[in-house]
Amino acid sequence: MAELLGLPHASLILHVEKTEAGLTVKRELEEGWFQTIELPLPAVLTIQSGGNKLRYATLMGIKKAKTKEIRRVTSQELGSAAAPVVFLDRVFAPQKQKSTQILGGTPKEAAAALVEKLKFEARIL
């Protein structure tokens, strides 16, 4: 989605910090390695579960929120920082292409049949 919108993006985010230039994010890589990168705003992030602690609204906060004014802004007021306009062309469910096959027989026969399918049908061996 971010690529289609032309926005910077990062995945597997563990920590997000706001900076003057945008965001600094810490992301998890393979084998326990971590990477810290800076992104301009607006950006698209996918955050791992457990990365943030939940904050529950207090009764006082809920009451105050009911009286807050909701200000609407136009895209002109946002200026050039506004995200590009996106039009949805179509939505569809992908066609089913693969089917599950249960290979019967002894484990040795099933393994032989699997190797044959991987060689001649999938062509990956």
Q: Is residue 56 part of a domain?
A: no
Look up the pTM and report it: 0.44
Higher pLDDT, 60 or 96: 60
Give the range of the structural domain holding residue 27, as residue numbers without chain letter: 1-51+76-88
Q: Is residue 15 part of a domain?
A: yes
Q: What is the pLDDT of residue 51?
A: 60
Residue 7: closest CA among 41, 35, 46, 38: 41
Instruction: Over range 89-109, report the average pLDDT.
Output: 83
**Segment 37-89, tens digit of pLDDT:** 999 999 999 988 766 677 888 999 999 999 999 888 877 776 655 556 667 78
Q: How many domains does the chain have?
A: 1
